[in-house]
Amino acid sequence: MPIRPENRHRYPSNWKAISLRIRTVRAAGRCECHGECGRGTHTGRCPNHNGAPAYGTGSKVVLTVAHLDHTPEHSHDANLRAMCQGCHLHYDLDHHAETRAATRRAAIQATGQLALDDPAA
Ligand SMILES: [Zn+2]
Ligand SMILES: [Zn+2]
């Protein structure tokens, strides 16, 4: 997953080395997702290997490193998972959907609160 420029400063300065070590040494080039992605298309550990055709789609696997708590500042090993793009995307999609829902809830609550506070309402 490419790092967005506005988030780059949140990553440790040695992120490239950390990411490489997780993908090549710890994961040995294989996706480390054991279902955390929630897409339910693989049981047990995801079979995708970096550079190999992905199961299902056959497109080339690009191994990435995901932050389990979606916080780049937390780049310690326990919070990191090597993930193929399919797992990583799905993992982040869930998170983004949650974030959007929370934002929407907050906006609705804020509106309700404003309406209650507004004597003209
Ligand atoms: Zn995977
Ligand atoms: Zn997965």
Instruction: Tell me how far the alpha carbon of residue 110 lies from the centroid of ligand 1, in angstroms.
Output: 39
**Among residues 94, 96, 93, 83, which one has the least CA distance to residue 42?**
83
Walk along the chain (121 residues) and give the pLDDT tens digit of each residue: 568 888 889 999 999 999 999 999 999 999 999 999 999 999 999 999 999 999 999 999 999 999 999 999 999 999 999 999 999 999 998 787 878 888 888 887 777 765 555 555 4
- Cβ neighbours for 10, distance < 8 A, ≥ 6 positions apart: 72, 73
Provide the residues around ligand 2 (an ion) whose CB is within 5 A.
33, 37, 46, 87
46, amino acid identity: C
What token pair was written down for 90? 């799905």
What token pair was written down for 13? 């300065």
89, amino acid identity: L
pLDDT for the residue numbered 113: 65
Q: Which residue carries 């056959």 as its tokens?
A: 58
